[in-house]
């Protein structure tokens, strides 16, 4: 087990090329939000854009479009009611925050898992659906990223008595299914193919709704820029926690909002890359 440190992250991250353009950094697709849950889509989208992807499209219900067009004018939209969703133009896909767990969401996830050949991240409601339909594991593309919190992890892989039991299980299951597992917690674990890292950034201010949505957006942005799924997960987890630590210069752990964390992502990038 290794520690996820600034030295390691600095070696992984690639400086932005002076002669690059938006196409250089990929086109992300986020499938997020539903009626009454559009905050999850806004948070994931803001975090994704703050993490360097060139273009972002968000898949949302058409009736909720005004929220996204107002909150995230930099993003493009596609609508969930459109039956034919073309994936070829996207570099990577993140799905789950706020999508719900009804039959429509289940069918949407099944369709994505079976047709998407691009790097994929599953979070939140997507993990709940997966836990209720474990046969889908056989259809998931290798190196797909799963980002469960402890309760989601237990729904996927069975009840665990201790944090260490859960960590040991995550390492085994990631290797067994050839997946990248990000087990969120006080010291988030990132594991793939028998290699495991424990994060060294972050604080209890992240113990609030929305933190996982932001992490989904950040990791999806790195996937979109061409990082391997394992490296995208390591970068995302470290910078997410570091931004939260930097945000404490203006906030307390009690007052910290995930919006504050997203606004500190730029400072986190600068601190890592200097």
Q: Is the dihedral of CA 161, 159, 153, 61 positive or negative?
A: negative
* C-alpha to C-alpha distances, 27 to 73, 219, 242, 259, nearest whole angstrom: 16, 13, 25, 23
Strand order in the sheet with 76-79: 2-4, 195-199, 189-192, 180-183, 145-146, 120-122, 92-95, 27-31, 55-60, 76-79
pTM value is: 0.97
Give the domain ranges of the chain. Answer: 2-12+24-273
Per-residue pLDDT reduced to its tens digit, 220-273 = 999 999 999 999 999 999 999 999 999 999 999 999 999 999 999 999 999 999
Per-residue pLDDT reduced to its tens digit, 31-60 = 999 999 999 999 999 999 999 999 999 999
Tell me the mean pLDDT in the region 124-145. 95
Decide: helix, strand or coil at residue 34: coil
Q: What is the domain class of 2-12+24-273 according to CATH? A: alpha beta
64, pLDDT greater than 80: yes
* C-alpha to C-alpha distances, 142 to 72, 130, 145, 181, 196, nearest whole angstrom: 32, 15, 9, 12, 17
Task: Report the chain's mean pLDDT, rounded to a whole number.
Answer: 96
Decide: helix, strand or coil at residue 274: coil
274, pLDDT greater than 90: no
In which band, very low, low, confident or very high, does the pLDDT at 153 lie, cut at 50, 70 and 90? very high
How high is the pLDDT of residue 82?
Answer: 85
Nearest Cα neighbor of 247 from 233, 236, 258 is 258
């Amino acid at each position: 087990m290794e520690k996820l440190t600034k030295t390691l992250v600095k070696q992984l991250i690639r400086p932005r090329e002076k002669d690059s353009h938006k196409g250089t950094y990929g086109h992300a697709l986020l499938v997020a939000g539903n009626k009454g849950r559009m905050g999850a889509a806004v948070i994931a989208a803001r975090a994704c854009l703050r993490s360097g992807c060139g273009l972002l499209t968000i898949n949302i219900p058409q009736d909720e479009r005004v929220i996204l067009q107002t909150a995230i004018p930099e993003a493009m939209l596609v609508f969930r009611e459109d039956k034919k969703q073309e994936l070829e133009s996207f570099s990577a896909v993140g799905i789950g925050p706020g999508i719900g767990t009804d039959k429509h969401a289940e069918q949407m996830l099944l369709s994505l898992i079976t047709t998407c050949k691009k790097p994929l991240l599953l979070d939140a409601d997507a993990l709940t659906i997966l836990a209720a339909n474990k046969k889908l594991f056989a259809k998931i593309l290798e190196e797909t990223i799963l980002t469960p919190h402890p309760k989601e992890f237990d729904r996927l892989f069975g009840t665990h008595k201790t944090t260490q039991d859960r960590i040991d299980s995550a390492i085994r299951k990631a290797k067994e299914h050839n997946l990248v597992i990000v087990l969120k917690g006080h010291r988030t674990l990132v594991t793939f193919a028998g290699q495991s890292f424990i994060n060294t950034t972050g604080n209890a201010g992240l113990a609030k709704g929305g933190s996982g949505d932001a992490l989904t957006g950040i990791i999806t942005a790195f996937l979109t820029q061409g990082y391997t799924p394992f490296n995208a997960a390591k970068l995302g987890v470290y910078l997410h926690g570091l931004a939260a630590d930097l945000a404490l210069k203006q906030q307390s752990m009690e007052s910290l909002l995930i919006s504050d964390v997203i606004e500190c992502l730029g400072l986190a990038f600068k601190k890592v890359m200097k």
